[in-house]
Amino acid sequence: MITRERIKEEIDKIEDNYLDVIFHIVQSFEYAPPIQNYSTRSSLPKSSDNTLKEWHDFVDATYGILASDPIMRGTQGEYEVREAIR
């Protein structure tokens, strides 16, 4: 668990020219809504098996769809010669 003392120790390692930024970040938490049972992993969105199946179905349905009509790059063309920038 991270404690206030640990955070203060880390802040003490920061160069002085970053203190304004750190101060504004800390101040922003004064008005932030409270976080209940914060956990980095639990805050990430969970993908369901159904979503994963839909993704695989999409890939299967679209894989190789342009094989009979591949994307081709046209010729580069020619551009006018301009005066050099100095």
What would the pLDDT profile of 35-66 be if each residue is shown by its tens digit? 776 555 555 566 667 788 888 888 888 888 87
Q: Whole-model pTM?
A: 0.37
Q: Is the pLDDT of residue 86 over 90?
A: no
The confidence score (pLDDT) of residue 41 equals 53
Q: How confident is the model at residue 16 (pLDDT cuts 50, 70, 90)?
A: very high
Q: With pLDDT > 70 as the criterion, what percentage of the chain qualifies?
A: 86
The confidence score (pLDDT) of residue 64 equals 84
Supply 50's token pair: 């159904």
